[in-house]
Amino acid sequence: MKILSVFLLAVVAVEGHYTFPRLVVNGKTVEDRDWLFTRQTKNAQSKSGIENPTSGDIRCYSSTTAPQIATVPAGASVNYISTQQINHPGPTQYYLARVPAGSSAKTWDGSGSVWWKFASTMPYYDANKQLVWPAQNTYATHPAAIPANTPSGEYLLRVEQIALHMASQANKAQFYISCSQINITNGGNGTPGPTVSLPGAYRSNDPGIQVNIYNLQPDAYRAPGPAPWQG
């Protein structure tokens, strides 16, 4: 009985928390093990989210790099397998940052005003008139297409899902993040932007970060960060 309750406690401790250790490209999981192209996050064990959106962890939540670089064709859809059900309401956003000439996606840290957003999900009402977001309560983040006009080359791809269930209090939104090392092929000649730095782009009291989602019309939600680049 004692062993059972310890086990149950351990299960309860990670309930509602998650990591995104595997990249999916065009519906296919391209990482046959966790953290191959995706940089292992600091919460790989605890699964807990980041609560301070100005912390250095908001960039990739990682203190390490990944061993390999994934090939991703421009125009492909990308998303991530989640270790637990994504049961907290909130948007999923995707960002890219181009690796500077002379650097490698295997080592570059993503510093500077180099990140642009290319996708962000909006909420809708469920049958009980509660705000829900696409892919909520599933085991994978909502997919987004990398704009076909994105130039070929090496990038860091960043996903974030922002859990807003307690976000009416300051610094109580939870950010779940992963960054993958990718090589975009068959790209175009677009000029992505606007670019922001991470940390830097978010403040604790941004209307999409400190927000009461239990008293909000779906189209009134404003996700944090710049407008998505459409390609």
Residue with smaller CB distance to ligand NAG, 57 or 154? 154
Residue 198 gets which letter from DSSP? T
Q: For ligand NAG, which is the closer residue by CB, 69 or 144?
A: 69
Residues contacting ligand NAG: total by CB under 6 A: 4
Site for ligand NAG contains 185 (CB under 6 A): yes
Q: How far apart are CA 154 and CA 173, in angstroms?
A: 31
Please say whether the beta carbons of 49 and 43 come within 8 A.
Answer: yes
* Per-residue b or e along 17-56, where b marks 16 or more CB atoms closer than 10 Å to that residue's CB: bbbbbbbbbeeeebbeeebbbbbbbbbeeebbbbbebeee
- Tell the smallest beta-carbon distance from residue 183 to ligand NAG (Å): 4
User: Can you tell me the distance from the alpha carbon of 9 to that of 31, in angstroms, rounded to the nearest whole number?
Assistant: 30
| Contact flag: residue 168 with ligand NAG (CB under 6 A) | no
Among 69, 99, 198, 213, which residue interacts with ligand NAG (rule: CB under 6 A)?
69
Measured from the CB of residue 95, what is the shortest distance to ligand NAG in angstroms?
20
CA gap 49, 42 in Å, rounded:
10
Least distance CB 151 / ligand NAG (angstroms) = 12
Question: Helix, strand or coil for residue 13?
Answer: helix
Give, as ranges, the residues between 146 and 165 that touch ligand NAG (CB under 6 A). 154
Identify which of residues 48 and 183 has a Cβ nearer to ligand NAG in the complex. Answer: 183
Q: Which residues contact 229 (CB under 8 A, 6 or more apart)?
A: 116, 117, 118, 147, 190, 192, 193, 194
Question: What's the closest the beta carbon of residue 67 comes to ligand NAG, in angstroms?
Answer: 13
Q: How far is the CB of 39 from ligand NAG (least distance, A)?
A: 16
Least separation in angstroms between residue 38's CB and ligand NAG is 16
Q: Does 66 bind ligand NAG (CB under 6 A)?
A: no
CA atoms within 13 A on the CB side of 96: 28
Decide if 40 contacts 22 (C-beta within 8 A): no
Measured at CB, which residue is nearest to ligand NAG? 183
Our finding on whether 48 is near ligand NAG (CB under 6 A) is: no
Interface with ligand NAG (CB under 6 A): 69, 154, 183, 185
